[in-house]
Amino acid sequence: QMAQSPSSLSASVGDRVTITCRASEGIGSFLAWYQQKAGKAPKLLIYAASILQSGVPSRFSGSSSGTEFTLAISNLQPEDVGTYYCQKYNSAPYTFGPGTKLEIK
């Protein structure tokens, strides 16, 4: 099980926002973050809890503490609108979190 919070948030351009994901058991660093825009396939942002995927802006970052994982987006931009999912991939089932819908005020 992957618990993710908040389920939605609204922030202004230039803000810093954080999304948290908590695993129900130890998963090491086998945690990824994805961004999904409306009508599109998900896009990988971060893997191994904190490694930025090539081509992803550096305003995205990931961190972890035990079974709690955080995605931070600094200097929020209009194109960051979408839904964000965490996922564990240490072993099957490769469960996704329920998602966080991010809107711009």
Interface contacts to other proteins, rule CB under 8 A: 30, 32, 34, 36, 41-44, 47-48, 51, 53, 83, 85, 87, 89, 92-99
Q: Least separation, in Å, of the C-beta of 13 and other proteins? A: 26
Task: Round to whole Å and give the CA distance between 88 and 74.
Answer: 24
Provide CB contacts within 8 A for 99, sequence distance 6+.
4, 7, 36, 83, 84, 85
Q: Least separation, in Å, of the C-beta of 95 and other proteins? A: 7
Q: Least separation, in Å, of the C-beta of 32 and other proteins? A: 4
CB atoms within 10 A of CB 105: 8
Q: Which is nearer to other proteins, 47 or 60 (CB)?
A: 47
One-letter amino acid at 64 equals: S
